[in-house]
Structure 1
Amino acid sequence: MDQIIQVINAMIENQSKISNVEPYHKSYFFVYNGKYIFSIVPKMSPPDEAFWLNVFPSPKYTVQDIMRNFDKEDDAENIPQVTYDSDDFKSPEATETFRELMQVVKSKLYNLDAVFSDILTNGRSADDEV
């Protein structure tokens, strides 16, 4: 298995280390282990069937710095990044790994762990919130 797939699986297994999730257009930026910046982007062919995972290896940037630079199209290329395309792996398992990471990141953005925990702990239903 390619190393990036192993890295994605490690992030999925250690979800508590994913933080600072920020939506940006169709992508989701996040920090792993307090220091590594990534973004995951669904490709539009068809949606949720393929993904790009961007790695921003330079420690001198924050998620906000990167998003600001992406707003200025000319500056976006000045930020070092490596992009992985789920289509390059040619296996359904690899695509599923990318898809699962996307779901984990979105769940973090909306704090779904806390929502689900509250529902399970208190036995509340969606109707109780209305």
Structure 2
Amino acid sequence: MSRIVTAVNAMLINANKIDPVFEQQEEFFFQYDKKHKWSICEVNSDVVLSLYAKNDGSLEDVMRSRLFGSVPNTVSYSANDQATKEAWESFQELLNFVKEKALGVTEVLDDIIADLDDDIPF
């Protein structure tokens, strides 16, 4: 398994460290562990994950720079380039998580689930 897939899986396991999350033109920007700036988006049936390395600015600064062009020190990873089904599924799961968080779906689902009785068998 590649290092990026391992890192994606680690982010999913520690999803509580993904905050804040913003959406800009169907690209979702997020910070992991209060220090690593990322974005993720779907492009032509692929999922592309970008790391904004060595970027001391805020996540909002990265978003502004991305809106008006490229951001220096960016490394991008394509799920399709990883050439495994697990990699694609991991990238897709991260995209879905970040998208749900940005759109407030996580809180809605938590609110609905909190209404469940403890007796429900699922």
Same fold? TM cut 0.5? yes
Structure number with the higher helix fraction is 1
Q: Structure 2: which 5+ residue stretches go unaligned?
A: 117-122
TM-score of the two chains, using structure 1 as the length reference: 0.82
Q: 2:56 matched to 1:60?
A: yes
Match of 2:19 in 1: 19
For 1:101, give the aligned amino acid: L
For 1:56, give the aligned amino acid: Y
Alpha-carbon contact 1:35-1:59 (below 8 Å) kept: no
Q: 1:96 aligns with which of 80, 83, 89?
A: 89
Distance in structure 1 (CA, Å) of the matches to 2:75 and 2:66: 15
Q: 2:35 matched to 1:51?
A: no
RMSD after superposition: 1.4
Give secondary structure in 2 for the equivalent of 1:103.
Answer: helix
Q: 2:115 matched to 1:122?
A: yes
Identity %: 29
Give secondary structure in 2 for the equivalent of 1:19.
Answer: strand
Alpha-carbon contact 1:23-1:29 (below 8 Å) kept: yes
For 1:4, give the aligned amino acid: I
Match of 1:38 in 2: 38
Match of 1:128 in 2: none
Alpha-carbon contact 1:51-1:85 (below 8 Å) kept: yes
Q: 2:102 matched to 1:106?
A: no
Distance in structure 2 (CA, Å) of the matches to 1:63 and 1:109: 14
Distance in structure 2 (CA, Å) of the matches to 1:31 and 1:121: 27
For 2:60, give the aligned amino acid: Q
Cα distance, 1:59 vs. partner? Answer: 4.0
Match of 2:119 in 1: none
Give aligned pairs, total: 116
Deviations 1:54-74 (A, max 9, x none): 00112412111111112222x
Distance in structure 2 (CA, Å) of the matches to 1:54 and 1:26: 14
Deviations 1:77-108 (A, max 9, x none): 4x211111111111111111100000110121
Q: Structure 1: which 5+ residue stretches go unaligned?
A: 124-130
